[in-house]
């Protein structure tokens, strides 16, 4: 029992330290980030576009950095008919791809949009939960990170595709009260359908944290993870865009 508790504490601190490293990198390199303005996105995000990713070629993944938590998820570019996207295949693994950006979240309304699809969920023995630490695996996650100078003050919005939880379910990460989760999709899509998400980050932040953002939006990330269940999961991501609501 004591050994199990020690393992959970070690896992929790490992996640917090990893998040801290990402926050540090975001803050350190923020001054070098170049933004593209006034674009129009492939997912129809009608706003002032700051950055968009179409994942049209192998080189597009080189813009993203990887953070490995346990083993490496296989992220690769695939093409199907007129689509080009990132396929994430996780086998007892957890590693995220993240991109540093600098969006004003205190005086403007940042938005994030993307397309995604799930083909296989991790296998869980217990009922699915956003706040359970022992089976904290999901086929698809998208993160919006608000880094602070003091790591413990940083905030994260995490959008999840769940197998069984109802759309709109919210929760707090078992690893940190500063990570809030919300379920956007549930179950396997029919006919391998893609789903498009368009999120008013400012509005979601207020809903989940109870107040407006205190820090700028510093990074976006996505991950498919199965390190807790030791099983397989498979998902696709495409057309990730960030910008400001007009």
- The pLDDT of residue 191 is 83
Place of tokens 């498919």: 224
Q: Which residues contact 159 (CB under 8 A, 6 or more apart)?
A: 141, 142, 143, 144, 181, 182, 184, 197, 199
Cβ-defined contacts of 23-28 (< 8 Å, 24+): 23/145, 23/147, 23/148, 23/151, 23/154, 23/218, 24/151, 25/65, 25/100, 26/100, 26/145, 26/147, 26/218, 26/219, 27/147, 27/149, 27/218
How far is it, in rounded angstroms, from Cα 128 to Cα 174? 13
With residue 16 as reference, give the H or E element that holds it: helix 2-29
Residue 238 DSSP code: E
Q: What is the mean pLDDT of residues 221-231?
A: 97
Confidence of residue 67 (pLDDT cuts 50, 70, 90): very high
Distances (CA, A) of 141 to 62, 75, 81, 226, 233: 20, 14, 25, 12, 12
pLDDT tens string 179-189: 999 999 999 98
pTM of the model: 0.82
Tokens of 135: 């089976």
In this structure, the strands spanning 170-172 and 83-91 are unpaired
5 vs 173, more confident: 173
Confidence of residue 206 (pLDDT cuts 50, 70, 90): very high
- pLDDT per residue over 138-148, tens digit each? 999 999 999 99
- Counting residues of the chain whose pLDDT is more than 90, the rounded percentage is 65
| Neighbour-count burial for 133-148, b at 16+ CB within 10 Å, e otherwise | eebbbbbbbbbbbbbb
For 2-245, CATH number? Answer: 2.60.120.260
What does the pLDDT look like over 17-46, one tens digit per residue? 565 555 544 444 443 333 333 333 445 555
Q: CA-CA distances (angstroms) from residue 110 to 8, 39, 40, 241?
A: 35, 14, 15, 11
pLDDT tens, position by position, 72-115? 999 999 988 778 999 999 999 999 999 999 999 989 999 999 99
User: So where are the chain's domains?
Assistant: 2-245
Please give the Cα distance from 148 to 164 (Å, whole number): 34
The predicted structure's pLDDT at residue 35: 32
């Amino acid at each position: 029992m004591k050994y199990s508790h020690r393992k959970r504490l070690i896992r929790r601190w490992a996640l917090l330290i990893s998040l801290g490293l990402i926050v540090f990198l975001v803050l350190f390199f923020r001054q070098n980030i170049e933004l593209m303005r006034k674009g129009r996105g492939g997912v129809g995000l009608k706003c002032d576009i700051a950055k968009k990713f179409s994942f049209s070629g192998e080189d597009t993944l080189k813009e993203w950095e990887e953070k490995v938590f346990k083993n490496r998820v296989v992220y690769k570019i695939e093409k199907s008919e007129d689509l080009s996207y990132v396929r994430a295949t996780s086998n007892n693994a957890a590693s995220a791809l993240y991109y540093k950006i600098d969006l004003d979240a205190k005086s403007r309304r940042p938005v994030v949009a993307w397309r995604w699809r799930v083909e296989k969920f991790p296998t869980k023995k217990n009922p699915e939960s956003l706040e359970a630490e022992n089976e904290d695996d999901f086929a698809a996650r998208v993160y919006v990170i608000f880094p602070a100078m003091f790591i413990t003050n940083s905030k994260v919005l995490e959008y999840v595709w769940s197998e069984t939880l109802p759309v709109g379910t919210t929760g707090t990460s078992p690893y940190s009260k500063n990570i809030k989760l919300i379920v956007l999709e549930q179950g396997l899509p029919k006919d391998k359908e893609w789903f498009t998400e368009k999120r008013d980050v400012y509005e979601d932040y207020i809903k989940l944290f109870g107040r407006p953002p205190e820090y700028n939006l510093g990074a976006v990330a996505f991950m498919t993870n199965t390190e807790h269940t030791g099983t397989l999961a498979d998902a696709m991501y495409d057309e990730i865009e960030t910008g400001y609501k007009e």
